[in-house]
């Protein structure tokens, strides 16, 4: 029996593994096919996109089952791509628990969002283009997940960034959308430069960009020990420095402070885009990247129990979590609140990775993917129902008009706040808080994260109160969304609740799965010191936040022109928060001002100096050509002409002898006679 | 200086004078005069050689000179006739003006 | 080199010189006649009596007169306004001088090799007549032909053309 199952597993592995590239490949091919279609073939485009992603989902599911059946399995392949000098640049893909679970999450959530988009984008005339880009994005994101080589990961990373740009600026006729797309691209680019630097450094030190290569990969122990041996200044080892550089790239994509400025603006894109890219998947790519290269960051812990790199990651994450949550309190656009909420939760994930390791951070990533996608899709449903209204001060009372949306949105909101026991967000966030509690370096992140949880509950309650409760503030009555949009909401809501079950301390299936350990149901998991106290504290905090929010906003529904309740209480801090703590303005004054000055300098250089050099060369050539022409005309031609003239005048001179006068001829004759006679006499002398 | 040389020198001088006249005067008739002088100088040469040179044949020089005289007369006649005709056409005997045959 | 020779030579040369240098063309013709006369006398001095008399008859009697006639017919007595010498006459003079130089040099050089003088050949008119009719009859006839041709030619050349004189 054991042998048979092992055999099956081996056969399955041999079938699934080599063709794993189909998982990202099929959606990309579908994107290519859709790009060639005409705009009016909407059904075909939608079917192609959903079908390709469905195929990827099923394949991912099969791969997941394969990995789940054999704990701690880690299959990787690699091939040589091209040769550089003596060494090769390699590509490869990997199937281990981390990538398997990410594959399933990305493809499943993506599939649901695609189905949702059929309803949401129905009235848009660029339906086909939308699905082409979404399909391309899905393929690229799946590519990021299965990449074994940092180079392949970077390529798919850039492709993800590109499709994000295309999709944020989907309604490019709106100047705000075009500007937001450009901002997103440029800001993530800043992070990507550091990522590339880290990659190059890693390659130069270890000679390979493959992550796992049967012992010779870049993050396997042999290479790591080599990296640890080198110091890179500032108390960092080479491993830590490279890890931090890669973290910069992740910070850009995942919206950590200070590269978070693009995420709120990215809400200019359609809501399914926000749901897929900026909630569930692309922003999670940064977290996933850190999880992937975790051995690099965690190598060589110092006496304090953690490495410098991980400490930096934790602090950045914790700060971002609190910073973004505070700003979310004062926002009035339904999607912007959710955007800042995403930034905050990404901070949580980074802090979780820093303090607790891969399993802790990635569990929150998975649960967040589901409930944030749910929240965004719900917001999209609300916007669709309110006829493209996005300001929460102009919504209200939608509880009665859109009951299903309200129910699913409430489930998502409670999951995000971390409502105890029933909702997955509670378990995943508590996992992070637990890791913070046991962090040996400092206690402050714990306090920050707990405060962040309070604020999260507060602003989400504010939002729900504004949108769903109270009297209707909008101009027209809202209507419920069609079933194609509400069905994904229901499915996501189910998972938002059910996923918690795989992360409880009693049955830590997820952690065991990631770490590759065996698993058993163990109620004594709750006996860990301080765990119950922590759970109690976080429950208290959540209720406190909910209560505060309800007290300020839920009891009486504010009129649209009225000042916000909190604004009345504390106008100045409200003003700061409303203006997003002036980070964008700071960039405007420093980075952008410097860059425009630099661009002007470069333009001047280009026009005057390089352009001048080119013009100078051209001028020299012209001068040379003119000199040549002068030579040619005057000397060559002139010489030739003069020669001919001389010849002619010589002829004239000679012909002037024939002047028609007899006496001239006679004289010449006489001269000839003289000469001849003289010669004759001279020659005949004895 | 033998008599022969004397006569030859005189003939040479006469010849040069005739040549100078033919080459320098403007009037066509005077050119003809110069030519006649040259012919006469040649005749004098002949007669001088007939008198003082070796005599394989007794009469050769004399005959030569006689025939030369005859021919000279004929030539003078024709030449002067030509000059007269030219004078009728060009109303001048100035040789410098008669250059229509120039190259 | 007797005195007679020098006198006669001087006369001839003077006449020749005058013939080519005088301004009035008729004077030139007359000087030419003097030169011819001098030459005839030289022939007589050289014991070439027949040649001398032939010279007088033909040259002085015919050619000189002819020249005078031509001069008169072509209004040659008028002196042209540009002068009697042609353009570049100096070149001609130089040429003539060169010719004299060469000829003189030839004569003087050859004087060294000339044989001694001999006696005059004894030639009578009878002998000349016999030779003309005997040995030299062909040249004689040809000269006669030549003279005829020259005569006719001269007449035709110098003839008035009917259309022109009208």
Interface touch A670/C106, C-beta < 8 Å:
no
Per-residue model confidence (pLDDT) at position A67: 80
Which residue from B minimizes the CA distance to C72? B84
DSSP annotation string for A19-36: GGGHHHHHHHHHHHHHHT
Interface touch C88/A678, C-beta < 8 Å:
no
Interface touch A655/B22, C-beta < 8 Å:
no
Q: Number of helices (H) and strands (E), helices first, in chain A?
A: 30, 2
Per-residue model confidence (pLDDT) at position A37: 81
Interface touch B24/A670, C-beta < 8 Å:
no
Q: A383, A271 in Cβ contact below 8 A?
A: yes
Q: For chain C, say whether B63 makes contact (Cβ under 8 Å).
A: yes
Residues of B in contact with C86 (CB under 8 A): 24-26, 95-96
SS3 at position C142: helix
Separation CA A390–CA A402 (nearest Å): 16
Separation CA A182–CA A578 (nearest Å): 23
Interface touch A670/C105, C-beta < 8 Å:
no
Residues of B in contact with A655 (CB under 8 A): 103
- Element housing C10 (H / E): helix C3-21
Per-residue model confidence (pLDDT) at position A91: 80
- Looking at residues C8-34, what average pLDDT do you find? 93
Q: A344, A324 in Cβ contact below 8 A?
A: yes
Count of CB contacts below 8 A, B vs C?
252
Helix crossing, B28-52 with C64-73: angle to 10°?
A: 170
Backbone angles phi, psi at A76, to 5 degrees: -135, 150
Count of CB contacts below 8 A, A vs C?
33
Structure token digits, residue A597: 């000055």
Minimal Cβ distance to C95: which of A661, A671, A686: A671
- Element housing B4 (H / E): helix B3-24
Best of A652, A661, A668 to disrupt the B interface by mutation (most B CBs within 10 Å)? A661
Separation CA A532–CA A518 (nearest Å): 24
Question: Chain A: nearest CA to B60, how far in angstroms?
Answer: 25
Interface touch B5/C114, C-beta < 8 Å:
yes
Q: Which residues of chain C from 79 to 108 reach within 8 Å of chain A, CB to CB?
A: 86-88, 91-92, 95-96, 98-99, 101-103, 105-106
Q: A145, A103 in Cβ contact below 8 A?
A: yes
Q: C96, B23 in Cβ contact below 8 A?
A: yes
A497's CB contacts (< 8 A; 6+ apart) are A411, A415, A422, A423, A424
Strands A75-84 and A87-95, bridge-based pairing: antiparallel
Q: B23, A667 in Cβ contact below 8 A?
A: yes
Count, residues in chain B = 103
Separation CA A188–CA A254 (nearest Å): 9
CA A22, A24, A30, A35 dihedral sign is negative
**pLDDT tens sequence across C75-125:** 766 666 777 787 778 888 998 999 999 999 888 888 777 666 667 777 888
Q: A376, A274 in Cβ contact below 8 A?
A: yes
Please work out, in degrees rounded to the nearest 5, the angle formed at the alpha carbon of residue C45 by the alpha carbons of C43 and C46.
Answer: 65
A76's CB contacts (< 8 A; 6+ apart) are A92, A93, A94, A95, A96, A148, A211, A212, A213, A214
Q: A190, A70 in Cβ contact below 8 A?
A: no
Residues of A in contact with C101 (CB under 8 A): 674
Best of C1, C20, C129, C155 to disrupt the B interface by mutation (most B CBs within 10 Å)? C20
Q: A293, A245 in Cβ contact below 8 A?
A: no
Taking alpha carbons only, the member of A88, A67, A87 closest to residue A76 is: A67
SS3 at position A149: strand
Per-residue model confidence (pLDDT) at position A525: 62
Residues of C in contact with A673 (CB under 8 A): 99
> Residue A85 region, left (φ>0) first, then alpha (ψ -120 to 50), else beta?
left
- Element housing A321 (H / E): helix A308-329
Structure token digits, residue B67: 């025939």
Question: Chain B: nearest CA to A670, how far in angstroms?
Answer: 8
Minimal Cβ distance to A667: which of B23, B96, B99: B23
Q: Measure Cα distances from A626 to A198, A641, B26 in Å.
A: 55, 20, 60
Q: C43, C52 in Cβ contact below 8 A?
A: yes
Q: Residue B75 — very low, low, confident or very high, per pLDDT cuts 50/70/90? A: very high
Per-residue model confidence (pLDDT) at position C1: 65
Per-residue model confidence (pLDDT) at position B37: 95
Best of A656, A665, A666 to disrupt the B interface by mutation (most B CBs within 10 Å)? A666
Q: Quick one: C147 exposed, middle or buried, by C-beta within 10 A (0-12, 13-18, 19+)? A: middle
Residue/partner pairs of A635-643 with CB below 8 Å, 24 or more apart: none
Q: For chain A, say whether C125 makes contact (Cβ under 8 Å).
A: no
Question: Chain B: nearest CA to C123, how far in angstroms?
Answer: 7
Interface touch B22/A663, C-beta < 8 Å:
yes
Separation CA A677–CA A673 (nearest Å): 6
Question: Chain B: nearest CA to A646, how far in angstroms?
Answer: 19
Structure token digits, residue C139: 């040249």
**pLDDT tens sequence across C53-89:** 999 999 999 999 999 999 988 876 666 677 778 777 8
Interface touch A660/B102, C-beta < 8 Å:
yes
Interface touch B95/A661, C-beta < 8 Å:
yes
Q: A268, A180 in Cβ contact below 8 A?
A: yes
Which residue from A minimizes the CA distance to B99? A660
Per-residue model confidence (pLDDT) at position A683: 87
Interface touch C98/A685, C-beta < 8 Å:
no
Helix crossing, A403-417 with A531-549: angle to 10°?
A: 140
Q: For chain B, say whether A663 makes contact (Cβ under 8 Å).
A: yes
CA A123, A124, A129, A131 dihedral sign is negative
Minimal Cβ distance to A674: which of C87, C88, C98: C98
Minimal Cβ distance to A666: which of B22, B100, B102: B22
Separation CA A103–CA A57 (nearest Å): 8
Taking alpha carbons only, the member of A515, A328, A531, A528 closest to residue A433 is: A531
Separation CA A383–CA A335 (nearest Å): 10
Minimal Cβ distance to A660: which of B23, B24, B99: B99
Residues of A in contact with B31 (CB under 8 A): 662-663
Separation CA B20–CA C95 (nearest Å): 8
pLDDT block averages, 10 residues each, chain A of length 686: 66 73 86 82 84 90 81 70 74 84 90 88 85 92 89 91 91 89 89 90 80 70 74 73 87 85 87 84 86 82 73 90 89 88 91 86 89 90 81 77 86 87 83 85 86 90 84 70 82 84 70 68 66 82 85 69 68 75 78 86 87 89 92 83 87 81 86 89 80
Residues of C in contact with B45 (CB under 8 A): none
Separation CA C100–CA C106 (nearest Å): 10
Minimal Cβ distance to A661: which of B19, B24, B99: B99
Residues of B in contact with C85 (CB under 8 A): 24-26
B7's CB contacts (< 8 A; 6+ apart) are B44, B45, B48, B52, C5, C42, C46
CA C70, C72, C77, C83 dihedral sign is negative
Q: Which residues of chain A from 623 to 682 reach within 8 Å of chain C, CB to CB?
A: 661, 663-664, 666-667, 670-671, 673-674, 677-678, 681
Question: Chain A: nearest CA to C84, how far in angstroms?
Answer: 14
Burial readout B71-96 (b: 16 or more C-beta within 10 A, e: otherwise) = bbbbbbbbbbbbbbbbbeeeebbebb
Which residue from A minimizes the CA distance to C106? A681
Structure token digits, residue A665: 């001829």
Per-residue model confidence (pLDDT) at position A524: 63
More confident residue, A500 or B103: A500
Minimal Cβ distance to C67: which of B18, B29, B58: B29
**pLDDT tens sequence across B24-68:** 988 889 999 999 999 999 999 999 988 887 766 778 888 999 999
Minimal Cβ distance to C63: which of B17, B36, B82: B36
Minimal Cβ distance to A663: which of C92, C101, C103: C92
Helix crossing, A175-206 with A221-229: angle to 10°?
A: 90
Interface touch B101/A657, C-beta < 8 Å:
no
In this complex, the chains that touch A, judged by 3 or more CB pairs closer than 8 A, are B, C
SS3 at position A87: strand
Question: Chain C: nearest CA to A671, how far in angstroms?
Answer: 6
Which residue from B minimizes the CA distance to C10? B10
β partners of residue A77: A93
Best of C44, C86, C104 to disrupt the B interface by mutation (most B CBs within 10 Å)? C86
């Amino acid at each position: 029996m054991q042998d048979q199952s092992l055999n099956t597993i081996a056969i399955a592995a041999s079938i699934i593994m080599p063709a794993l590239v189909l998982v990202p490949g099929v959606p990309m091919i579908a994107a290519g096919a859709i790009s060639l279609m005409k705009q009016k073939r909407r059904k075909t485009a939608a079917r192609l996109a959903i079908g390709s992603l469905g195929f990827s989902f099923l394949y991912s599911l099969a791969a997941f089952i394969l990995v789940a059946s054999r704990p701690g399995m880690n299959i990787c392949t690699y091939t040589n791509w091209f040769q550089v000098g003596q060494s090769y640049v390699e590509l490869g893909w990997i199937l281990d628990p981390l990538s398997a679970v990410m594959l399933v999450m990305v493809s499943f959530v993506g599939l649901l969002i695609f189905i949702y988009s059929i309803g949401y984008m129905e009235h848009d005339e660029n339906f086909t283009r939308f699905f082409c880009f979404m399909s391309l994005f899905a393929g690229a994101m799946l590519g990021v997940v299965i990449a074994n080589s940092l180079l392949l990961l970077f390529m798919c990373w850039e492709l993800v960034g590109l499709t994000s740009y295309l999709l944020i600026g989907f309604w490019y006729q709106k100047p705000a959308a075009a500007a937001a797309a450009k901002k997103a691209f440029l800001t993530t680019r800043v992070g990507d430069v550091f990522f590339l630097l880290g990659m190059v450094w890693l390659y130069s030190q270890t000679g390979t960009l493959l992550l796992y290569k049967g012992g010779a990969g870049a993050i396997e122990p042999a290479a790591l020990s080599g990296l640890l041996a080198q110091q890179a200044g500032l108390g960092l080892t080479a491993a830590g420095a490279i890890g931090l550089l890669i973290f910069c790239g992740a910070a850009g994509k995942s919206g950590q402070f200070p590269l978070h400025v693009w995420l709120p603006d990215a809400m200019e894109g359609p809501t399914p885009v926000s749901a897929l890219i900026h909630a569930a998947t692309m922003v999670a790519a940064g977290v996933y990247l850190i999880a992937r290269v975790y051995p690099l960051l965690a190598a060589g812990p110092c006496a304090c129990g953690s490495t410098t790199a991980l400490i930096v990651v934790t602090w950045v994450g914790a700060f971002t979590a609190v910073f973004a949550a505070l700003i979310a309190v004062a926002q009035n656009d339904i999607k912007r609140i959710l955007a800042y909420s995403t930034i905050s939760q990404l901070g949580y994930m980074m802090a979780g990775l820093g303090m607790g390791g891969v399993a802790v951070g990635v569990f929150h990533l998975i649960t967040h993917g589901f409930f944030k996608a749910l929240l965004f899709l719900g917001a999209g449903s609300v916007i669709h129902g309110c006829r493209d209204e996005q300001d929460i001060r102009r919504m209200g009372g939608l509880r009665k008009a859109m009951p299903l949306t309200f129910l699913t949105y409430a489930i998502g909101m409670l999951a995000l706040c971390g409502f105890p026991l029933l909702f997955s967000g509670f378990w995943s966030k508590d996992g992070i808080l637990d890791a913070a509690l046991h962090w040996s370096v400092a206690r402050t992140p714990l306090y920050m994260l707990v405060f962040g949880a309070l604020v999260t509950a507060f602003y989400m309650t504010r939002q729900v109160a504004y949108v769903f409760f109270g009297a209707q503030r909008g101009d027209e009555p809202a209507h419920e969304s069609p079933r194609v949009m509400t069905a994904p909401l229901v499915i996501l809501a189910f998972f938002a609740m059910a996923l918690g079950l795989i992360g409880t301390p009693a049955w830590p299936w997820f952690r065991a799965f990631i770490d590759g350990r065996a698993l058993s149901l163990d109620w004594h998991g709750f006996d860990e010191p301080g765990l119950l106290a922590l759970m109690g504290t976080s429950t208290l905090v959540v209720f406190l936040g909910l209560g505060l929010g309800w007290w300020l906003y839920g009891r009486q529904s504010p009129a649209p022109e009225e000042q916000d309740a909190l604004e009345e209480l504390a106008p100045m801090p409200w003003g700061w928060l409303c203006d997003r703590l002036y980070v964008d303005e700071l960039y405007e004054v420093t980075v952008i001002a410097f860059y425009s000055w630099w661009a002007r300098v470069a333009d001047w250089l280009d026009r005057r100096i390089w352009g001048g050099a080119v013009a100078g060369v051209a001028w020299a050539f012209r001068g040379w050509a003119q000199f040549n022409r002068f030579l040619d005309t005057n000397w060559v031609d002139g010489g030739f002409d003069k020669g001919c003239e001389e010849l002619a005048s010589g002829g004239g001179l000679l012909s002037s002898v024939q002047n028609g006068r007899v006496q001239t001829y006679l004289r010449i004759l006489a001269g000839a006679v003289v000469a001849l006679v003289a010669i004759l006499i001279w020659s005949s002398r004895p | 200086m033998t008599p022969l040389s004397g006569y030859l020198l005189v003939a040479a001088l006469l010849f040069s004078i005739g040549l100078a006249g033919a080459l320098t005067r403007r009037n066509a008739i005077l050119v003809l005069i110069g030519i006649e002088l040259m012919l006469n100088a040649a005749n004098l040469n002949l007669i001088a050689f007939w008198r003082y040179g070796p005599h394989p044949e007794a009469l050769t020089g004399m005959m030569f000179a006689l025939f030369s005289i005859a021919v000279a007369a004929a030539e003078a006649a024709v030449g002067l006739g030509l000059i007269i005709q030219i004078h009728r056409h060009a109303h001048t005997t100035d040789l410098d003006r008669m250059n229509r045959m120039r190259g | 080199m007797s005195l007679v020779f020098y006198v006669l030579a001087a006369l001839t040369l003077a006449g020749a010189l005058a013939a080519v240098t005088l301004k009035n063309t008729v004077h030139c013709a007359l000087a030419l006649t003097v030169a011819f006369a001098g030459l005839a006398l030289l022939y007589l001095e050289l014991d070439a009596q027949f040649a001398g008399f032939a010279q007088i008859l033909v040259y002085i009697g015919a050619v000189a007169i002819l020249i005078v006639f031509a001069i008169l017919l072509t209004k040659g007595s008028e002196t042209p306004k540009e002068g009697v010498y042609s353009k570049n006459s100096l070149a001609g003079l130089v040429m003539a001088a060169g010719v004299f130089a060469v000829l003189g040099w030839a004569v003087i050089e050859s004087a060294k090799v000339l044989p001694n003088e001999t006696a005059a050949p004894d030639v009578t008119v009878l002998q000349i007549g016999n030779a003309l009719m005997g040995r030299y009859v062909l040249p004689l006839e040809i000269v006669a032909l030549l003279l005829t041709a020259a005569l006719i030619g001269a007449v035709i050349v110098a003839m008035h053309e009917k259309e022109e004189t009208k």
